[in-house]
Amino acid sequence: MTIPFEEEELKENLPEEYPLLPIRDLVIFPYMVFPIFVGRKFSINAIEEAIENNDRYIFLALQKEKDIETPEEDDIYKIGTVATILRMVKLEDDRVKILVQGVARGKIKKFIKENDLYKVQVEILDKDEEYTESLEVEALIHSVKDLLDKAVGYGKQILPDLISIIKSVDEPGRLADLVASVLDIQSKEAQEILEIIDPIERLRKVHDLLIKEVGLLEVQQKIRNAAREQMEKDQREYFLRQQIKAIQEELGEKDERQEEIEEYQKKIKEAKMPKEIEEEALKQLKRLEKMHPDSAEAGVIRSYLDWLVELPWNKKTKDILNLKKAQKILDEDHYDLEKVKERIIEYLAIQKLRKGKGIKGPILCFVGPPGVGKTSLGRSIAKALGRKFTRIALGGVRDEAEIRGHRRTYVGAMPGRIIQAIKQAGTKNPVIMLDEVDKLAMDFRGDPASALLEVLDPEQNKEFVDLYLGVPFDLSEVMFICTANRIDTIPRPLLDRMEVIRIPGYSEEEKLHIAEKYLIPKQLKETGINKNLVEFTRPGLQFLIRGYTREAGVRSLERRINEILRKIAKEIALKGKKKKYKITKSVVKKFLGAPIYVPEKERKDEVGVVQGLAWTEVGGEVLKIEATKMKGKGNLILTGSLGDVMKESARTALSYVKSKAEEYGINPEDFDKYDVHIHVPAGAIPKDGPSAGIAITTAIFSIFSELPVSSDVAMTGEITLRGHVLPVGGLKEKILAAKRAGIKTVILPEKNKDEVLEDLPPFVRKDLDLRFVDHIDQVFPIAIVGFEKLKEKVDKKS
């Protein structure tokens, strides 16, 4: 703060030598009074010297660099101010406070250093300031005073007494010094003013700096006014809203918009989202608050917030870690399927040992024909774990956005099916069944199978980002279960992420057990019939299974049971009789009509007709292979919608029989005289694969040896040019198909023996003669009727 003194005439007899007080960051002008705090030793010595020996006069000069502790001559500006010390006070921390009054400008002529004391010889510069009065000078003086008034008007703080003194001054030099002392300028700019000796030039410089400061003050004033107006507006709106709120409460009404915002805030807090996701939700809520409630964008944000607050970010069910109870639930719901049940119990065992910490949900894939219980098994697993269950049907899905979600920029955008399933389940660790994963499609909208790669990778799905949400959701605790009818259509990278568990078809004995224990009680409950009124006999059930169903699973069997019970329900409802119904073979025929499938044995063994075994998506099937020869030029004709692999098997078979013709008593010239036609009936159905190799070879051998093939024998296996039998897949399904068809003997590759004996229950092998071969020479004695006589005949000739 500067305090003006009463004007005094400059002393005529100022001394020539002064103690020097270097000042770090302050320029003192003549006529003004300033307080200065002094702490350096040489500065305190200068003050004491001035008071004791120099009539209280001291020379004040600005340091060029304020950080220099002990300045030398070159570190101090030459032009400074002669000042008188009005008062001195010693402070507690060895510092000194002085009050000085500027007297006159001076220029250092000589610099003297005596121990810790600086002295200078000074030339007084403004003893007699001379200037020429003119209109320009007068105008300049008036302009400076007007600008000072404006500065005060814009909020510049200047003591009223100082303003009065400035307005009473008409000398340009003194006016310039007084105004310069109140300007908000840097010390170097103040030094430049101090060094201007010409009073008019000095006043011009001050005038220019004052214009700049007034402009700055004007802008600041506008900013302050705008801010104040906005604050007043916001305050006014706040008070008005509070008044409206009070009025609405008095009337029993509420501000719906504010109520909506508060409701969202409450839901966001209760959702217990991760911090970064909560911040995103609050950011979107803030945007919603500023929008018109009926705008399209507001609707999009509401939908987005609804999804965020309804997702189970921190909700999960506690797993049932009682292994015996889980085993009991699995056994009650499904018959057999031991491998699947064992895998679930293993998972629970690990959960129990690790107390549920740090274990990722397994990705299981159940592969098997329709109707074997793949989907219902998922429900049982969820029940055994004590988790929520939800199912996603992937059959025919061809849009990647179905999995990852749509971006919010699209009209009608929504999250993908994974996030929808999580929301539906209401917990972050449900069992999610991805049904028919082998039937995913792809087109220009993307590849949904590729989108599933992240979902089904335990290393990646911890931070799964749905495009609609735009924030990560943790899927690592979800147990994903996929189902498929076949593996070959599942993309290899996707299959690599899954643990495949095969669920083969059921034998007749298994179907009987499933029908008695599961299907009949379920359908009795659904049809509302008292369980004591209906009894299915074993022969009746067997007749139903053999005559009306031919499938790997039990879906068709369940429909047939339901059909019988519906007819019984109709009779009970119409006649009101509640007699006991015993379901025998005759009752089944009465309710369902003539059997659809008649298990027939070939009436006779035929030449060139072989029972082959095939695997299909719906289970095993007996495939009749027919061969015949006709006069021609040795051509091979293949019909029946055969694929490339099956055609190659036929060529291989013909080549093998040709190469071994003489060994089996076949005239090699016959192959050039006759064309061979191989046909597989049901020509509209495409067929492919190598497993019909030995069946085609047997058929070709039969037509050239003119010996019939046993109708009680079925076979499967791939053949090489050397006659070796190679292993094939789907053995259990094929053997079950053979048993359903009444086949007595099944020829199988030797290399599949361990697999068959391990996977096939004893009751399935019962009444079946399983023959394992590793060469086609072992097949002919089993399948060809009269082969032994042919062999004896050939041996005698040789």
3 state DSSP class of 785: coil
Instruction: Let me know: does 590 contact 546? Beta carbons within 8 Å.
Output: no
Residue 345 shares a structural domain with residue 482: yes
Q: Where does the pLDDT of residue 359 fall: very low under 50, low under 70, confident under 90, or very high at 90 and above?
A: low
Whether residue 185 is contained in a domain is answered as no
Which of the following is catalytic: 181, 691, 702, 705? 691
Q: Are 454 and 460 in contact (CB under 8 A)?
A: yes
Residue that is last in its domain, among 72, 94, 124: 124
Confidence band for 791, pLDDT divided at 50, 70 and 90:
confident
Band of residue 220 on the pLDDT scale cut at 50, 70, 90: confident
Percent of the chain having pLDDT more than 90?
Answer: 22
In angstroms, rounded to a whole number, what is the distance separating the alpha carbons of residues 382 and 347?
13
pLDDT tens digits, 729-739: 888 888 888 88
What's the burial of 362, exposed, middle or buried (CB within 10 Å: 0-12/13-18/19+)?
Answer: middle
Burial code (b: 16+ CB inside 10 Å, e: under 16) for 697-719 equals bbbbbbbbbebbbbbbbbbbbbb
156-214 pLDDT per residue, tens: 888 888 888 888 888 888 888 888 888 888 888 888 988 888 888 888 898 998 899 88
**Binding site residue list for ATP:** 368-375
Q: Of residues 775 and 240, which shows the higher confidence score?
A: 775
- Reply yes or no on whether the pLDDT at 561 is more than 50: yes
Nearest-angstrom CA–CA distance, 82 and 66? 20
Query: Is residue 179 assigned to a domain?
Result: no
Predicted confidence (pLDDT) at residue 773 exceeds the cutoff of 90: yes
| Number of domains within the chain | 5
CA pseudo-torsion sign 666, 669, 674, 675: positive
Range of the domain at 459: 323-502
* pLDDT number for residue 798: 62
Are residue 662 and residue 713 in the same domain, yes or no? yes
Tokens describing residue 372: 């074997």
Of the two residues 711 and 445, the one the predictor is more confident about is 711
Sheet of 479-484: strand order equals 389-393, 431-435, 479-484, 363-367, 499-502
Q: Do 655 and 717 share a structural domain?
A: yes
Give the residue from 388, 463, 399 showing the smallest Cα distance to 433. 388
In a domain, 215, yes or no: no
Judgement on whether residues 535 and 657 belong to the same structural domain of the protein: no
The reply to whether 494 and 567 lie within a common domain is no
Q: Please write the tens of the pLDDT for every residue from 273-302.
A: 888 988 988 898 888 888 877 788 888 888
Tally DSSP H helices, then E strands, for the chain.
Answer: 29, 25
Q: Are residues 371 and 449 located together in one domain of the fold?
A: yes
119, 388, 629, 734: the catalytic one is 734
Say whether both 397 and 457 belong to one domain: yes
With beta carbons less than 8 A apart as the criterion, state whether 540 and 588 touch: yes
Cβ burial of 98 (10 Å; 0-12, 13-18, 19+) is buried
**CATH assignment of the domain containing 443:** 3.40.50.300
Quick one: pLDDT at residue 655?
93
At which of 536, 561, 592 does a domain end? 592
Domain identity same for 512 and 498: no
The verdict on 706 and 561 lying in the same domain is no
76 pLDDT band, cuts 50/70/90, is very high
Say which CATH number the domain at 537 has: 1.10.8.60
Pick from 3-17, 573-587, 713-727: least confident: 3-17
In this structure, is residue 180 part of a structural domain? no
Rounded mean pLDDT of the chain?
85
Spatial separation of the C-alpha atoms in residues 696 and 610, rounded to whole Å: 8
**pLDDT value of position 697:** 93
Q: How confident is the model at residue 7 (pLDDT cuts 50, 70, 90)?
A: very low
Distance CA 601, CA 594 (A): 18
Residue 9 has pLDDT above 50, yes or no: no
Q: Which position has the token pair 């068809």?
A: 741
pLDDT reported for residue 448: 85
Model pLDDT, residue 185:
87
How many CB atoms neighbour CB 410 within 10 A? 12
Q: Between 231 and 780, where is the model more confident? A: 780
HEC readout, 244-288: HHHHHHHHCCCCHHHHHHHHHHHHHHHHCCCHHHHHHHHHHHHHH
CATH of the domain at 680: 3.30.230.10
Mark whether 556 is an active-site residue.
Answer: no
> Known catalytic residue: 734?
yes
**Spacing of C-alpha 634 from chain mean position:** 63
Cα separation, 681 vs 679, whole angstroms: 6
Q: Under a CB-based contact definition with an 8 Å cutoff, are residues 81 and 12 in contact?
A: no
Please tell me the predicted confidence (pLDDT) of residue 129: 65
Q: What is the DSSP string of 110-169?
A: EEEEETTEEEEEEEES-SS------HHHHHHHHHHHHHHHHHHHTT----HHHHHHHHH-
Q: pLDDT class for 493, splitting at 50, 70, 90?
A: confident
Note whether 580 and 618 are same-domain residues. no
Residue 494 lies in a domain: yes
What distance in Å separates the CA atoms of residue 544 and residue 590, rounded to the nearest whole number? 12
pLDDT of residue 441: 77
* Same domain for 38 and 72: yes
Lowest mean pLDDT among 307-316, 329-338, 494-503: 329-338
Asked whether 365 and 394 are in contact (CB, 8 A), the reply is no
> Residues 344, 487: one domain?
yes
In a domain, 155, yes or no: no
CA 758 from chain center: how many Å? 42
User: Which of 414-428, 466-480, 614-628 shows the lowest per-residue confidence on average (mean pLDDT)?
Assistant: 614-628
CA 722, chain centre distance (Å): 55
What is the pTM (predicted TM-score) of this model?
Answer: 0.60
Q: What is the mean pLDDT of residues 619-640?
A: 88
Count of Cβ atoms closer than 10 Å to residue 574 Cβ: 8
Q: Is the pLDDT of residue 601 over 80?
A: no
* 33, 4 Cβ separation under 8 angstroms: yes
Residue 654 pLDDT > 70: yes
Bridge partners, residue 432, by sequence: 390, 480
Please check whether residue 247 lies inside any domain of the structure: no
- Strands (E) across 586-671 are located at 609-616, 619-631, 636-639
In a domain? residue 43:
yes
Categorize the per-residue pLDDT at 252 as very low, low, confident or very high, splitting at 50, 70 and 90: low
Q: Are 100 and 60 in contact (CB under 8 A)?
A: yes
The enclosing domain of 22 has a CATH number of 2.30.130.40
**Which residues neighbour 60 within 8 Å (Cβ) at sequence distance 6 or greater?**
21, 23, 28, 80, 81, 82, 83, 100, 102
Lowest mean per-residue pLDDT among 43-47, 121-125, 134-138, 440-444: 440-444
Q: Please state the three-class secondary structure of 656-692 as a single string.
A: HHHHCCHHHCCCCCHHHHEEEEEECCCCCCCECCCCC
Question: Last residue of some domain: 536, 566, 592?
Answer: 592
- Greater confidence (127 vs 535) lies with 535
Indicate whether 431 pLDDT > 80: yes
Residues at the binding site are 368-375
Let me know: does 598 contact 554? Beta carbons within 8 Å: no
